A and B are shown apart, each in its own frame.
Chain A
Amino acid sequence: MAESSPILTMTGISKEFPGVRALSEVDFRLFPGEVHALMGENGAGKSTLIKVLTGVYDIDQGDIALDGEPVRFASPLQAQHAGVSTLYQEINLCPNLSVAENIYIGREPRRFGRIQWSEIRKRADALLLERLDLNIDVSAALGSYSIAVQQMVAIGRAIDISAKVLILDEPTSSLDANEVQQLFRVMRQLKGEGIAILFVTHFLDQVYEVSDRITVLRNGRRVGEYATRDLPQLDLVSRMIGQELAALERLEEQPKRSLAALESTQPVVEAQELGRKGAIAPFSLTIHRGEVVGLAGLLGSGRTEVARLIFGADRADQGSLKIDGQPVTMRGPRNAMSRDIAFCSENRRTEGLIEELTVRENIILALQATRGWTRPIPRRRQEELVDKYIKVLRITPADPDIAVRNLSGGNQQKVLLARWLITEPRVLILDEPTRGIDVGAKAEIQRLVVELSDGGMAVLFISAELEEVLRLSHKIAVLRDRAMVTEMANDDTVDADRIMQTIASGADR
């Protein structure tokens, strides 16, 4: 790749949200005719960077230059007219309109004020065929085509408006393998035409297949910019995940109870070839009393899907699940709850808390649900339970009657945890319980996990932070690309490097 001058440079970009510094002094550049992958774990700042570039958010600090000219877009529309088009994971087009209408909506060719429909169809047909190699009926409704085709149409619209820079935010997450190849073909062709493509994905293989250059972000900072061929997968993974040991309060190194002793008892949860098409390939996993099983893997690797199948949030379509040695079919969360399984979802806002209800109501919700509506928990008992957990988990403010939406992320997480702890579960599934919360709360939650497992609870612990998984787990299962790759006892031979290697290569040494 010739070192021509970059089409886009972002320098010293900072962006702060109340309480969170989403980007600090990030530099980024993009050259014409390259596919540039933007990599990072959740909350690393990828989406924020894209949004400040395209004018969704204001910038607190920093400069953007397009074609050498300083720019600052006030809206995505303005960015698009300047040649910076963004395609999000969800397609922002109108499925009920025809393909041709979608491409030309808002800028229809007119003559004497009348829209020229035949001209629209003709141009749309030519555009898709010539530049995207897509031969479809452009007068059919967009919604009648597959997601992949819809995405192509969105790309077609973007490049027709004028694209110097095309941003693809997770375009492949809902495509199958053939469709991904089709998309990559188009990306390569557009690259050949000199368009700069910014590509965000969680699939490592795709990064190596299609990208020329990689920028890695972590915790709102730029870790570095690398040529793809010079950065082995292992290095990429370790740069994405990082090692934040120092910041965290270390748990006292207590001798871990031996795995052999734990595993001598009958497993509480025993999944055999459990799986669900399109979500997670069949996996086998056992969890024993008092055992912490960690799930490691990048985002989208299938960690959450494993948890959801065991809890019955999704139904498995293959394999079997035994609880206490009894075969069960999980039809829904209630089935799991009646067997004392609890699940703290990673999406606190959408799948966890009821934001407008109070702290007290949110905490008693699951317990009340198991009792049914006719047997309300007496007010005094509610207050006892809620006060106890507000104290134990140090929820602040310690006011049970404020709406939970007014709490900080860490305290919301504790409320969710309290909801499940008062149901006295024997199996606790924690999906990213420490994400997006401050270091202090993080250490408290980790300490709690140790205490609970010492008390005999079986814990399935999911986290993107390897250090955390390593510190807490007796056994670690590694996932990659929606399949469980391997399972290892967390003994002296296991460290972050070995897990990263497994994530990167898909096999344990």
Chain B
Amino acid sequence: MTAVIAATKHRIFWPAMILVLLLLSNLLLTPGFFSIELRDGHLYGSVIDILRFGAPLIMVAVGMTMVIATGGIDLSVGSVVAITGALACLRISELDDQNSVSGVLSAVMIALLLAVALGLWNGFLVAVIGLQPIIATLILMVAGRGLAQLITGGQIITINSSPYKLIGAGYWLTIPFSVILAAAVTALAVGLTRRSALGMLIESVGGNAEASRLAGIRSRRITVMVYVFAAFCAGVAGLMISSNVSSADGNNAGMWYELDAILAVVIGGTSLAGGRFTIGGTVIGALIIQTLTTTIYTMGVPPETTLLVKALVVTIVCLIQSPAFRAKVFGRSRHRPPPIAPAGPAPLEKAEVSAS
């Protein structure tokens, strides 16, 4: 029993619970929901679909997690998705042989380089100029759409390149390639933050920026890094999305992705206020959102009400996530809301701070 109680306290317990519930409710709707079959050496099934379509969101949300952990936010990821997809497709469409592997590789590299440059721009505005993150990234969110349309010339660029199609729609060793890619970038993020000291330093900057500065942390450099990483993740997601449909739409690709990504981070248990973050939670959060979308489609909800249904479920999920709400509804004994004021002689301390 104590082990169970301890488990409910784990930060990704509730997100994981919600995901399991969502998946199980699908089983009631469609009995064959969990069945996976091997066709032509490819895995097929609803669960595989959720992973495959969820891969771009997972990537973007993982990058977003780090930005949010520093106390920032990145609204431009959706635009970066559109820009990288557009640039990669443009380069490929200009190739003599669209199936040339080296040509596709160079297009991918250039697109990702541009994503990194855009991340540097965001990081520069936030860390060096000192703009508020929401404003700094709003610039690229709006201007980026224009940039993407400039690249595509206002048209939808369609390509016919089998190496490029692998990224978003292909399979490797029976598994969808996009899922492998998302797993690899997630693993990279976990490795980068938890095997080095980066994760702790990010949490420190997000937890208390001034105290971090006085402890000698180069918070500027760390801030720039997280925006670059977020843009890189968005770039890879942009490649996936454009590859999946073999075309680049500067206007609509990655539309509202930033909001889904932020939602995934929050559902996953990372606070928007910054500090402690959990990449695992974010992945679960992204999967919840994707499962929800899939569920709504399989349930046959009329298209004009899908957004409303999604909003309702997301509201419920967020409420269940909130410790304060759980305490109110399910009794206060076990899940106490965090104290509003720090415990102990806080009022005194506060008075001292304001007095000095």
Contacts and interface: CB of A to CB of B under 8 A. Distances in A.
Interface of A: 17-20, 22, 42-43, 46-48, 51, 57, 88-90, 170, 202, 299-300, 304, 311, 313, 332-334, 337, 343, 345-357, 361, 365-366, 368-377, 405-406, 408-409, 419, 435-436
B196 A22 contact: no
B212 interface: yes
A90 B211 contact: no
A144 to B, nearest CB: 22
B356 A346 contact: yes
Contacts of B302: none
B216 A366 contact: yes
A436 B344 CA distance: 11
B215 A366 contact: yes
Given A357-B203, A409-B344, A300 B198 contact: no
Contact of A436 (B198, B210, B349): B349
Contacts of A347: 352-353, 356
B355 interface: yes
Nearest to A350: B353
A351 B197 contact: no
Contact of A377 (B197, B217, B354, B355): B197
Contacts of B351: 43, 46-48
A313 B203 CA distance: 21
Contact of B216 (A57, A369, A373, A377): A369
A351 B210 contact: yes
A419 B213 CA distance: 14
Contacts, number: 145
A234 B349 CA distance: 27
B356 A300 contact: yes
A355 B214 contact: no
A343 B218 CA distance: 17
B349 A349 contact: yes
Say what secondary structure dominates the interface of chain B: helix
Contacts of A348: 349
B354 A88 contact: yes
Q: Could you say which of A299, A345, A354, A406 has the most chain B C-beta atoms within 10 Å of its C-beta?
A: A354
Contacts of B217: 365, 369
Contacts of A436: 345, 348-349, 352
Nearest to B219: A369
A17 B198 contact: no
Interface string B187-229: 0000000011110110110011011111111100010000000
Contact of B211 (A17, A202, A351): A351
Contact of B196 (A17, A47, A313, A376): A376
A28 B155 CA distance: 78
Given A369-B217, A409-B345, 7 more contacts: A18-B344, A22-B345, A22-B347, A47-B350, A333-B215, A350-B353, A377-B197
B352 A43 contact: yes
12 contacts: A17-B345, A22-B347, A300-B355, A334-B216, A343-B214, A349-B349, A349-B353, A350-B210, A366-B216, A371-B197, A372-B197, A375-B196
B197 A373 contact: yes
Given A19-B344, A48-B347, A374-B196, A368 B352 contact: no
Contacts of B211: 345, 350-354
Given A333-B216, A365-B217, A370-B216, A354 B204 contact: yes
A88 B118 CA distance: 44
Contacts of A406: 343
